[in-house]
Amino acid sequence: MFEDSVEGFIARWRDHAADGVAFARAEGSPLLEVALGEAVVQLFERTGPYEAPTGPVRLIVHAVASAWTTTEDGPPVLAAVGPARLRVAGRVVEREAPLVVIDAGIPVVLGLERDDDGTAWPEVGGWLACETLAPAQAFVLRHGGDRRPPVAADEQV
């Protein structure tokens, strides 16, 4: 288990949020399509369907990997490999096992499921590459910790 609650996860990892642009979504879909850096990815919205506005959004990207490699430096990578699945490569900037934060051009909070295959735990400053399991997730942030969509003044009663 990588979190105790949505609110607890946001409180712990808020400093690793990224800015992106959310696109309109299909009616009833829990997947948020968002442009992050050079990538367009789909993420399962953990803060509630329809909480993310269309347009600029700030969110924590969280994914889980069951296999990874610790490789030599290379270019950071964030790419979609399927619905709510990512290819991630970058420098480890924080580690709180079993979670690490990868700088893949944007921060990705990555949960690592270890299966005693001898793969070394990544160290801060090291390079990690992996493909994540589905679903990669988005924790949408609001100003001042409020996660509700903004309401226009003329809509307030």
Across the 157 residues of the chain, what is the mean pLDDT of every consecutive 10-residue run? 87 97 85 94 86 87 94 91 96 94 98 75 92 96 50 50
Evaluate whether residue 153 is within a structural domain. Answer: no
Q: Report the pLDDT value the prediction gives residue 25, as an integer from 0 to 100.
A: 81
Strands 69-71 and 127-131: antiparallel
Evaluate whether residue 19 is within a structural domain. Answer: yes
Number of domains in the chain: 1
Q: Are 61 and 43 in contact, with CB atoms under 8 Å apart?
A: yes
Q: Are 21 and 55 in contact, with CB atoms under 8 Å apart?
A: yes
Evaluate whether residue 133 is within a structural domain. Answer: yes
Q: Report the pLDDT value the prediction gives residue 100, as an integer from 0 to 100.
A: 96
Burial status of residue 109 (CB atoms within 10 A of its CB: 0-12, 13-18, 19 or more) = buried
Evaluate whether residue 99 is within a structural domain. Answer: yes
How far apart are the C-alpha atoms of 115 and 37, rounded to whole Å? 32
How far apart are the C-alpha atoms of 108 and 18, rounded to whole Å? 9
Measured from the Cβ of residue 31, the count of other Cβ atoms closer than 10 Å reads 18
Evaluate whether residue 150 is within a structural domain. Answer: no
Evaluate whether residue 156 is within a structural domain. Answer: no
Alpha-carbon distances, residue 99 vs 2, 48, 64, 124 (angstroms): 7, 23, 9, 11
The domain containing residue 38 runs over which residues? 6-145
Residue of 63, 48, 89 lying closest to 2 (CA atoms): 63
Evaluate whether residue 151 is within a structural domain. Answer: no
Alpha-carbon distances, residue 48 vs 45, 67, 92, 133, 139 (angstroms): 6, 29, 29, 20, 9
pTM of the model: 0.86
Evaluate whether residue 152 is within a structural domain. Answer: no
